A and B are shown apart, each in its own frame.
Chain A
């Protein structure tokens, strides 16, 4: 997916003016946020588990090479073929080659953010393959020609009305006068259509939430069962995943799974948690005949030795964006690339560079809610600040902003001069603002005054008044 992260401000403006989107986003606080709060309340061990999860992920990352090797050994022993992809292009090419060797015409897909990252669908479609997203939310965005706007609820930006309109437009083989009022009817319609695709698929592609070193397994987590139909019915199962997903043991992943669904949707556990190990065994009446696992790096290995390593702990639950005031205001598309919200604000510049994606970590108030809800305790604001430091060092900020900041810093480091200059400045500003109590317009703060009054200062500085107070003068 081609990033539009440099147009973040314009994208955000469009999102803020989009009434349908705003209606959809308004559902977040009462929905996913409330659900997570309730799930956390039902599990007294929730906070202790966050420490456990963080430690498991940190340990795995510190031994990533060893656990990946162990995982590869066991996956291969179970009959899977493991492909290592340094770049997005390597991954795309590997997957296309597998599909072509299998003579594939129809490919079904479970949800995979890594597949978005490598822009897989377009690559396969350009070679004449039909690619069908089977996760309902992914299907909804696919038929609109859009990309997901959330990492676990891809169509969270859509209202039911929009889905009905899309189905009518797309499913032209069905009677025009059919009633599509109920969400259940819409789901039923998608079920019928996608059922045919599951059965026709030559290749099924899924992601992997985790890789288990001790058994060579991959895990997918769904509520719909689409991932299972995708991987069980086709002749060939392809897993597209990344190097940071490996976890040592089944016990380790059990602890992490206790946090995943609760953090994502507020469920105790996802409806379907599936551990897959290789292709079908002799004697199995079903299951894929071949299993290929494509493991992507795409810049993650470089993060290991950097100050950004902690971002690799992410288990892609989406809690951070559900709780983010910025995400809740603008939705996921405004972020301009695969990963939105606070995790996107850290991961996107980590993978595509601060020059391209500097807006994302800058557009945060550092309210800290993301870090507070992250099941892996990723210090997201700290990592965003790291990107801001990189951008500053690279000279990325606007000239006027840098100059203003430099002037402020220069003065602030000279307290006597600062106190003297501020007396004069504040006296002038105070006088100008005295009549109304605030400014409707301020030349150096138009961003502020476009939407708000700028309160007038009281007119004297505290340091000035304190000095007078110490000298015995009345206030």
Chain B
């Protein structure tokens, strides 16, 4: 196994099902950033979903099965990095709890969890990146996704890297730490309440008068982009990795080509 800083660590990219299916350009942005940080990126084919939908719906058995599958798929790699606070949170904070009763897997889950990081916090906290080479001219605001913020302590890291993007003006919106109302299945099961929550959020976004909204979780971003578009607000929405990596060829979320 290679060490953290000196050698070239082998990083397994946990793509996340949303990035895989809905917006692969985020995955490529993540690869680019990880390579810039001196890592070799491997994308295990045996990964699908972290199991959060099952876990949060109370289907512990399926969630545990997916946990074992994921742990197996990423065995032998130095790090597991995901461009999502909620997926990384599931892998890091919840897999050990999920498998704590399984004698054969409890230790493996804990060892696995130690190697898991969300993308931006990996770049800043582990790889000690303080700047990126990208450029983006415009006013940008940032939404702090709940899991990343509260489970993984992601707050300053994206701001540190965004501050280094040439031409980018970061403005903070009011209540950036308040939930956007996505909550996975919540947005569909309790859509009216979810809507009320996201409306407050888009009002805060709009009040900051940005040209672009960024965050580290595609679930939040799809929710926010979908609402902003329905409201007719012309604010572009992307994953923060896209801006940090300069991966802007694809249109923003919910925008036609």
Which residues of A are in contact with B by a Cβ distance under 8 Å? 9, 12-13, 16, 29, 325-326, 329-330, 362-369, 371-372, 385, 387-393, 397, 401, 405-406, 408-409, 411-413, 415-416, 418-419, 422, 425-426, 434-438, 445, 447-448, 450-458, 460-466, 475
Contacts and interface: CB of A to CB of B under 8 A. Distances in A.
Given A364-B186, A392-B57, A458 B191 contact: no
A26 B62 CA distance: 40
A450 B191 contact: yes
A408 B186 contact: no
Contact of A365 (B54, B182, B222, B230): B182
Complex A-B, nearest 9 residue pairs according to Cβ-Cβ distance, in ascending order: A365-B183, A392-B58, A437-B256, A452-B226, A447-B191, A388-B58, A462-B24, A367-B179, A451-B195
Given A368-B146, A390-B58, A422 B179 contact: no
B257 interface: yes
B226 A453 contact: yes
B48 A462 contact: no
Given A16-B193, A412-B66, A475-B28, A325 B55 contact: no
A9 B54 contact: no
Given A16-B193, A325-B197, A448-B188, A457 B23 contact: yes
Contacts of B197: 325-326, 329, 365
Given A405-B59, A455-B222, A422 B191 contact: no
Given A418-B48, A462-B19, A12 B229 contact: no
B151 A405 contact: no
B104 interface: no
Contact of B22 (A397, A437, A450, A457): A457
B129 interface: no
Contacts of B20: 422, 461-463
Nearest to A9: B190
Contacts of A401: 57, 185, 189
A418 B70 CA distance: 14
Interface of B: 15, 17, 19-25, 27-28, 43, 45-49, 51, 53-60, 62, 65-66, 69, 73, 146-147, 150-151, 175, 178-179, 181-198, 200, 222-223, 225-227, 229-230, 250-251, 253-257
Nearest to B62: A409
Contacts of A392: 57-60
Contacts, number: 211
Nearest to A409: B62
Given A409-B62, A418-B48, A367 B226 contact: no
Contact of A458 (B22, B54, B200): B22
B257 to A, nearest CB: 7
Nearest to B41: A466
A436 B256 contact: yes
Given A390-B58, A448-B187, A466 B27 contact: yes
14 contacts: A365-B194, A367-B179, A401-B57, A405-B54, A405-B57, A413-B62, A437-B254, A437-B256, A451-B192, A451-B230, A455-B225, A455-B253, A456-B254, A458-B23
Nearest to B27: A462
Contacts of A448: 187-188, 191, 226
Contact of A452 (B73, B146, B227, B251): B227
B67 to A, nearest CB: 11
A368 B89 CA distance: 12
Nearest to B24: A462
Question: What DSSP secondary structure best describes chain B's contact surface?
Answer: helix
B150 to A, nearest CB: 4
A352 B256 CA distance: 49
B225 A397 contact: no
A412 B226 contact: no
A166 to B, nearest CB: 26
B193 A411 contact: no
A409 B193 CA distance: 27
Given A388-B57, A434-B256, 10 more contacts: A9-B192, A362-B190, A364-B183, A365-B184, A367-B150, A368-B146, A412-B66, A413-B66, A434-B257, A457-B22
A388 B185 CA distance: 13
Contact of A389 (B51, B60, B150, B198): B60
B23 to A, nearest CB: 6
A369 B256 CA distance: 35
B82 to A, nearest CB: 12
Nearest to A456: B254
A378 to B, nearest CB: 15
A354 to B, nearest CB: 10
A461 to B, nearest CB: 5
A412 B191 CA distance: 25
A435 B145 CA distance: 30
Contact of A465 (B24, B69, B150): B24
A384 B151 CA distance: 16
B57 A426 contact: no
Contacts of A369: 146, 150, 178-179
B16 to A, nearest CB: 9
A426 B21 CA distance: 7
B191 A413 contact: no
Nearest to A396: B58
B190 A461 contact: no
Given A365-B186, A385-B55, A438-B226, A455 B254 contact: yes
A397 B59 CA distance: 11
Contacts of B49: 408, 412
A387 to B, nearest CB: 8
Contacts of A445: 188
